[in-house]
Structure 1
Amino acid sequence: MIHAAGARISLLGRRMEPLLDVARVTNGQAIQCDVTNLDSIHKAFDEARAKNGLIDLLIVNAGIAESAPFHKMTRESWDRIISVNLTGAFDTVQAGLPDLLKSEDARVVFIASVASLRGVPYAAHYAASKHGLLGLMRSMAAEYAKSKMTVNAVCPGYVDTPMTDQSVARVSQITGRGEGDARSAITNMNASGRLVDPQAIANLVLTLCLPLSRDINGAAITIDGGTSA
């Protein structure tokens, strides 16, 4: 949606094939990047600048999820989740910050989660990383409130994406439920009883990036069918 509004898009991620699929639709630039590797981030941002100019809008949406009872959670799993979901976000924003502070109307939008707002059984590391992401967002919003940059977060419930498919598989494996029952259990964690449409998230991100949204700053906006009401 942002590309349809006139933005030039740089698409960063580890796997080039899905990036190229989106690039063909958006006329964007697909750039390989691993947010757990600082050199990879800086190289990707340099490439993005070379292709599309200085960065005005930064959507931080790299994330992974895993599940385990807390007493069985490993330090390796904890480190992996925090590295991508929180440290990766920190490094990504720092890499783009010099450009953003030069912009006349800059935006940072973190894709967080309703797990940023409550505890999540069997996903303490994921919830901790997403709580940390809101702390990062709110601190930046307060620190740069007098600048021309806003910093906000979108907090979705369960979304109709492959990541939710992976969650279904994990719940099925951990609980012994059939895949259909596991999917129903996850879907019903959204008060609406349905998964969130990814396009609804894209629409909200676009709204936050519009010039008229310059006074929305430090907001954590839920999009979960009413679960957080």
Structure 2
Amino acid sequence: MNDRRMVFQENRLWLPFEALPADLPTLTSLRLPEGWLAQRVSPEQPLPPGVEALGLRDAHPRMAQEDWLQAGRAHQWLEWEEGHRFCGGCATALEPGEGQGRRCPACGRTVFPSNAIAIIVLIHRGEGERRQWALARSPHFKPGVYSAVAGFAEPGESLEQCVHREVAEELGIRIQHLRYFGSQPWPFPNGLMVGFTAEYLDGDLRPDPSELEDARWFGKEEMPPLPSPISIARWMIDAALGHPWHEPGAAS
């Protein structure tokens, strides 16, 4: 059993792990299947000497990749545990249920951990040196950064239907030859990003002003600032450009 543990304070991770005190008053505590003990402390809990509280994005350069992935997993489990203490039907306190689920002793309703499913798609047109990629800019991005188009799947919608809908709504174009690229757990706070590539079919780029600031076609030699290397968006773009990239699911 892995005796290592990680501590969160709201959405911030305490680092380094080696400096964590042995005894802490916790709000939530759970054991991951891999053996890590994940804990969350009160927002008022003072930081121990030698410990920093960092958001997961800022913590990434300070951690081994596998540890960072486990931290993201722990964060999502803690979010689910804390958000499912009571039954959504009758407000009775939930009890442990089958597997990792919870069951209401009053009405019998059961709930299981789940992710918010989102798609992300990198669209290309042209061939060879004339190939271009459609990238868009959200007002929430860091200054100057463009990325592939993403969006959440709706109930009753397949991933493929979601891709075509999001592209039509956000960019105003149609695509074809959709191909699966890979997926990535995205702990901000509890998502699963499913990546696709696609070929442009027709239409003119018309970014939805309610979602995007801008959208353009970029060639290989004119790329704007790109998303963080920790994201599947960057892996897709790097792969398309022939740069080294992190293969989804590959060992780090």
| TM bucket normalised to smaller | under 0.3
Of Structure 1 and Structure 2, which has the larger fraction of its residues in strand?
Answer: 2
Q: TM-score scaled to structure 1, two decimals? A: 0.23
Find the structure with the greater CA-based Rg. 2
Of Structure 1 and Structure 2, which has the larger fraction of its residues in helix?
Answer: 1
